[in-house]
Structure 1
Amino acid sequence: MKAKIFLLSLVAFFILSAHAAVVDTIHVRSDAMNKDIQTVIITPGNGKKAAPVIYLLHGYGGNAKTWIGLKPNLPEIADQYGIMFVCPDGKNSWYWDSPVDPSYRYETFVSKELVNYIDANYPTLKDRKGRAITGLSMGGHGAMWISFRHKDIFGAAGSTSGGVDIRPFPNNWNMSDRLGKESENQEVWDNHTVINQVDRLQNGDLALIFDCGYSDFFFEVNNDFHKKLLKYKIDHDFIVRPGAHNGEYWSNSIDYQILFFKKFFDKRNTK
């Protein structure tokens, strides 16, 4: 009897293992920057079934492994929802194509080179209806920046604790290395902040969600971003809750965003 139970348990283990999410760390070529970019890919264990993709962007000082470190159960979430997660290393780029440093072309990398690579090499839903992008802090800025400018690629976008208006922080986080000094390049800074990209949107262009903790130094710029979206009559989810600019907050907040994107994928892909 014990041997039978053991055998059944072993069979169950191998069945579950055969359908468990796979975590790969690869390097994706960027011709635009003439280098390879480390990327963590979490593929749900659903065989060859095409999966929607959430692109997760890290914050300042982070790397491709930031999100799997903050949220070790991402593989289980991938399996639960049948969603692929793609986490590229964006350096401290703010995900711009820098106008002053041609070695930083991360908007091009994420929106074109990375998406094309993932779609060519993995079973994905190869349509904006099956792609979302979000990120934390610098990555929240990057996700909104890229999605607003590439609505043909992404159907949904988010930001958690995002730096959605960079201008109140002219001396922080290497932004001047990417854009030049704010005091000498005001127009460039105005043109490279997310809040000034809102006029690119028509209502319904993107499914939008963003959040910020009350104790976060980015709380006011997120509130201003919310107000501007309201002014332009752009539907969006804006969530505020207790919390600061830290991993504890992001590990919690991303759960809500993943659920939001899951509902977006389900709604769009049943039409």
Structure 2
Amino acid sequence: MAFATINYFSKALRKASSFNIVFPEDADTPRPWSVFYLLHGLSDDHTIWMRRTSIERHLAGLPLVVVMPDGGRGWYSNAVEGDAYEDDLLGLVDLIDRTFPVEAERSGRAIGGLSMGGYGAVKVGLKHHDRFASVTSHSGALGFVHGLGDRPEISPEFNRIFGPEPSGGPEDPFALVEQTDHGLLPKMRIDCGTDDFLLDQNRAFRDHLDRLEIPLEYEEFPGGHEWSYWDAHVPEAIEFHARNLGLR
């Protein structure tokens, strides 16, 4: 696999930004490639997946590009007061479509992430289901917008981004699955550690989908909110996407 850091000007953020990308370097790898957008958590940036996991090794042999954007502390959302990180992510999708030999269609795109990025992947994947065929989340902060586990000390910018009453709105994954034609939803997989402080949120989202009879691949494993857990389980997310994108 080849690796690069690419700097670009984000019109949505009105500033320079960067992303990391891993892509096949073997000339025999069939094209066009599929793309997996892999989102970081609240305290990290676009470099963290390469620094803390074996993501490049996990991709070996697949015609799959992994794009790791910089989402700041923006929850991959367009803030009520602040930056438009959702628009930045969607603009990055367009940039990748124009620049790399990828399948520039829903059937060739997947999205996933951890913690804040797990929330972002589920929310963006549901809201923009016309763009993503497959969604994964590790230890996702899926219930904060819905009012579960209110922890203002974790994200003091939360109210500035989401406003005073985000539950039930367009940034709430619980509401999005209710408001979208179930036949249009992407395939979804969620996992969480049994010692993770976000476990109850993940179980609540699982139960919500069960009540709505929406298919979900859901698993819990030993572990907490930590990189040893995410590195151990991102290969399962890659395999899930590979099946859904027709790479297996």
TM value normalised by structure 1: 0.84
What do the CA deviations read for 1:56-96 (whole angstroms, capped 9, x no partner)? Answer: 00001100011111223x22333321210000010001111
Alpha carbons 2:58, 2:235 under 8 Å: kept: no
- Residue 81 of structure 1 aligns to a residue in which SS? coil
Following the alignment from structure 1 to structure 2, what is the Cα–Cα distance between the partners of residues 249 and 96?
A: 26
- The residue number in structure 1 matching 2:134 is 156
Matched, 1:121 2:103: no
Deviates more, 1:46-55 or 1:255-264: 46-55
How do 1:1-271 and structure 2 match up within 5 A?
21-47=1-27, 49-72=31-54, 74-101=55-82, 104-111=83-90, 113-166=91-144, 167=147, 168-171=149-152, 172-174=154-156, 175-180=158-163, 185-186=164-165, 188-191=166-169, 192-204=171-183, 205-266=185-246
Alpha carbons 1:50, 1:125 under 8 Å: kept: yes
- The residue number in structure 2 matching 1:16 is none
Following the alignment from structure 1 to structure 2, what is the Cα–Cα distance between the partners of residues 199 and 27?
A: 37
Larger radius of gyration: 1
Please give the root-mean-square deviation of Cα atoms over the aligned residues, in Å: 1.7
- Residue 46 of structure 2 aligns to a residue in which SS? coil
Query: Partner amino acid for 2:172?
Result: T
Query: Partner amino acid for 1:210?
Result: I
Compute the displacement of 1:54 (Å): 0.4
Q: Which one has the bigger helix percentage? A: 1
Compute the displacement of 1:189 (Å): 4.5
Following the alignment from structure 1 to structure 2, what is the Cα–Cα distance between the partners of residues 76 and 250?
A: 14
TM value normalised by structure 2: 0.91
What do the CA deviations read for 1:193-247 (whole angstroms, capped 9, x no partner)? Answer: 3222221333342110011111111101100100111111111101111110000
Compute the displacement of 1:153 (Å): 0.8
Following the alignment from structure 2 to structure 1, what is the Cα–Cα distance between the partners of residues 229 and 109?
A: 24
Compute the displacement of 1:265 (Å): 1.1
- Residue 256 of structure 1 aligns to a residue in which SS? helix
Change in CA separation of 1:77 and 1:45 when aligned onto 2, cut-off 3 Å: farther
